[in-house]
Amino acid sequence: MAADKNEQANNNKKLEDLEQNREDGTDQFLTTNQGVRVNDNQNSLKAGERGATLLEDFILREKITHFDHERIPERIVHARGAGAHGYFQVYESMAKYTKAKFLTDPSVKTPVFARFSTVAGSRGSTDLARDIRGFAVKFYTEEGNYDLVGNNAPVFFIQDAMKFPDLVHSVKPEPHNEIPQAAAAHDTFWDFISLMPESMHAIFWAMSDRAIPRSFRMMEGFGVHTFRFINDEGKSNFVKFHWKPLLGLHSVLWDEATRISGKDPDFHRRDLWDAIESGAFPEWEFGVQIVAEEDEHKFEFDLLDPTKIIPEELVPVQRIGKMVLDRNPDNFFAETEQVAFHPGHIVPGIDFTNDPLLQGRLFSYTDTQLSRLGSPNFHEIPINRPIAPIHNNQRDAQMRQTINKGRVAYDPNSLGGGCPYQAMMSDGGFHSYEERVDARKVRARSDSFRDHFTQPALFYNSHSEAEKKHIVDAFSFELGKVETVAIRQRMVNILTQIDEDLAKKVADNLGLTPQNPEQPINHSFGADTDPQTVQPTEKRNYLDKSPVLSMENTVKDTIKTRKIAFLATNGVDDDALDAMKKLLTADGAMVKIVATKHGTIKTANGAEVKVDETFMTTASVLFDAVYIPGGKASVDALSQEMDAIHFVNEAFKHCKAISATGEGADFVKNETFAGKDENDKAVILGSMAKETAKPFINAIAQHRNWEREMVRKVPA
């Protein structure tokens, strides 16, 4: 009996101990991990409202340090990615603006390693999640490694690094059940976003087709922040960085993305690998927007605000060089997984600005790599080693590989002859830009950061009607997954500040009525700031539209690397098959034979043709276009194959180009939805491949016939 009482007492004590470790924060003040109450959780400590972030900000450092160490060993963000080796070459010297050697000598090919990634999902998630994509490039220059760590969107969700852990915590799977994976369509994310109007511009990029790219090779890249170029005379110019894909900027439909996730969750990674292996090397032109330092304040937005773009109509992008990726990694873990990027890895001629998000990243990335790779010697991992020689007094630490000679590990010294010694600027020594600082230490944000609605409105209004429809659908889907109606309503109300028609369409899909918010909530300017003085400013109208923001206006003159499915089986017409394949591959397309069974098929003339895929192993969503060659026996067999009919219907639903010749044209007309509209310019039917090939190629180059989507709904 006494033993039972003792056991019960022990159990009660365990329960009490467990309860002491539970904490929900309800009705409590926010504190640091040392119990100090936090007065401002929105702004890092700066030297003036637009000044540099200070190292003494113990709240920021504690918050970001904890965040950086929350996962081991996988990256917390950008966990799922793919990478490739290549080179960069500048077209002509940029010495007028920068002394960075890799940007001043057109004869030099600078080795690079590029990594592309989704942001929110784990390593096991799908490539086709609706998400911003990482676009990071490591330049192995003769002056040291330079890392341009960007995204496929030029703006970010927050203005100050203090909010980064909050943003990522909100978009990650909800902590109580680890659901949903790699998706923003849940309550915690939209609760945060609807309370942070500064996020509106980035959220429009995330709700656009750019968040579901067709390929890593067909998306843009951006440095996001405003940086500095410094020339030999010490003159500074502000600069924004761009990557422009030579294949154009293309996406998939959301319905298509969800189906690809089930058919091939490695779709983007496989696409990049296969393109390089086949010799179709991905290419991007490197572009810069340069703003003279004396013009810093001439715009109606702040250059230091990472939620803003510089519209290309105001400052054109100069394309100054090209990156080519021409070699796949030999080992995914050793290279793609262990590569360590950091925006603080710069070379002489490039420098920072006081962008408060960038300033926080300069601390966070080193801290993250220490946690993820386990040692301050992560620079000795082969993929991270610079080609420039390393000479310093650092020694020891875990996983040290360099064997240093001698007994000197300090500076200054005489025993080692004073070596290694400091480099003069004339010797290529890095010299930080001498920016004047004269300010109070404050936790605050500049009033020039308060315009949250002008640029998302510009982004939305710059799109085609089909693209606008996709944005409406994306908001409706995402918010439709939010269970808390008050969050849905709050978000719809904010949308009224950007475009009332958009807000009405989204609200109607959600069964809500949009309401103009009496006082848009804005938590970004600190607890001690008068709420009336920090609300978003009224929209401005410095530009009605920016055509480059619409993917409708991208490059549409090539079908290079496009994957075309040929549906065929025994009895296919030899001439139709061979002629179309020859013409498509001559223009750089990739043709795959899709049949009912693996092995080979026999043409009408008895030739054997290798089958690449079957209806069981592939799907229309993995291709860019479909061709059905004639041949009575082949077409008769396809007519009895429901998967073949579905294949064409699904491609038609997703607005892809479809062509058929001979009996194949009758199959399309009689068995599928694709043949019902004689005016559809992306359905090309005819008697011979030589007649239909050119219009088919033109239709593929247009990427999609979005008009089809606007006219009818196609069951598939």
CATH classification at residue 525 = 1.20.1370.20
57/148 same-domain check: yes
Q: Is residue 615 part of a domain?
A: yes
Q: Quick one: residue 511, left, alpha or beta (phi over 0 = left, psi -120 to 50 = alpha)?
A: left
Domain count within the chain: 3
49/186 same-domain check: yes
With 70 as the cut, is the pLDDT of residue 508 above it?
yes
Q: Is residue 196 part of a domain?
A: yes
Catalytic residue among 43, 78, 152, 186: 78
CB contact set of 328 (below 8 Å; sequence gap of 6+): 84, 85, 273, 276, 277
Structure tokens at 591: 């043709």
What band does 329 get if pLDDT is binned at 50, 70 and 90? very high
CATH number of the domain residue 565 falls in: 3.40.50.880
Q: Of 334, 360, 384, which marks where a domain is finished?
A: 384
Q: Is residue 18 part of a domain?
A: no
What band does 534 get if pLDDT is binned at 50, 70 and 90? low
618/635 same-domain check: yes
CA gap 469, 492 in Å, rounded: 16
Q: Is residue 466 part of a domain?
A: yes
With 70 as the cut, is the pLDDT of residue 476 above it?
yes
243-290: per-residue pLDDT in tens?
A: 999 999 999 999 999 999 999 999 999 999 999 999 999 999 999 999
**pTM (2 d.p.):** 0.90
Q: Helix 164-171 vs helix 187-194: angle between axes, to the nearest 10 degrees?
A: 140
Torsion of CA 524, 530, 536, 541, to 10 degrees: -130
518/637 same-domain check: no
pLDDT at residue number 527: 59
249/147 same-domain check: yes
Question: Kind and range of the H or E element at 579?
Answer: helix 574-586
560/544 same-domain check: no
650/670 same-domain check: yes
Lowest mean pLDDT among 45-59, 236-250, 287-301, 680-694: 45-59
Catalytic residue among 151, 354, 493, 705: 151
CB contact set of 635 (below 8 Å; sequence gap of 6+): 628, 662, 663, 664, 666, 667
Tell me whether residue 237 is one of the annotated catalytic residues. no
Q: Is residue 150 part of a domain?
A: yes
pLDDT at residue number 39: 80
Q: Of 384, 415, 443, which marks where a domain is finished?
A: 384
Q: What is the mean pLDDT of residues 446-459?
A: 96
pLDDT at residue number 599: 97
Q: What is the mean pLDDT of residues 610-628?
A: 97
339-396: per-residue pLDDT in tens?
A: 999 999 999 999 999 999 999 999 999 888 888 888 888 888 999 999 888 888 888 8
543/573 same-domain check: no
Q: Helix 485-495 vs helix 465-480: angle between axes, to the nearest 10 degrees?
A: 160
What band does 712 get if pLDDT is binned at 50, 70 and 90? low
CATH number of the domain residue 201 falls in: 2.40.180.10
H helices of 267-355, in order, are 267-277
Q: What is the mean pLDDT of residues 180-201?
A: 96
- Are 104 and 403 in contact, with CB atoms under 8 Å apart? no
- Are 213 and 133 in contact, with CB atoms under 8 Å apart? yes
* Residue 262 β-bridge partners: none
CA gap 89, 104 in Å, rounded: 10
What band does 516 get if pLDDT is binned at 50, 70 and 90? confident
pLDDT at residue number 713: 61
> What is the overall mean pLDDT for the chain?
91
DSSP string, 414-477: STTTT-S-PPPGGGT------------EEE---GGG---SHHHHHHHHTS-HHHHHHHHHHHHH
273/174 same-domain check: yes
Q: Is residue 526 part of a domain?
A: yes
CA gap 303, 312 in Å, rounded: 14
Q: Is residue 392 part of a domain?
A: no
CA gap 659, 155 in Å, rounded: 40
163/175 same-domain check: yes
pLDDT at residue number 15: 56
CA gap 597, 603 in Å, rounded: 15
111-125: per-residue pLDDT in tens?
A: 999 999 999 999 999
12-43: per-residue pLDDT in tens?
A: 665 565 555 556 666 777 777 777 677 888 88
pLDDT at residue number 522: 59
* Residue 115 β-bridge partners: 83, 136
604/560 same-domain check: yes
Q: Is residue 478 part of a domain?
A: yes
pLDDT at residue number 528: 60
CB contact set of 430 (below 8 Å; sequence gap of 6+): 346, 347, 348
CB atoms within 10 A of CB 120: 23
Q: Could you give the angle at the alpha carbon of 614 between the alpha carbons of 608 and 619, nearest 5°?
A: 135
With 60 as the cut, is the pLDDT of residue 716 above it?
no
532/589 same-domain check: no
563-579: per-residue pLDDT in tens?
A: 999 999 999 999 999 99
Tell me whether residue 151 is one of the annotated catalytic residues. yes
pLDDT at residue number 614: 97
Q: Which one-letter amino acid corresponds to residue 321?
A: G
pLDDT at residue number 611: 98
Q: Of 535, 552, 569, which marks where a domain is finished?
A: 552
Structural domain boundaries enclosing 480: 452-552
pLDDT at residue number 389: 86
Percent pLDDT > 90 in the chain is 75
With 70 as the cut, is the pLDDT of residue 11 above it?
no
- Are 247 and 561 in contact, with CB atoms under 8 Å apart? yes
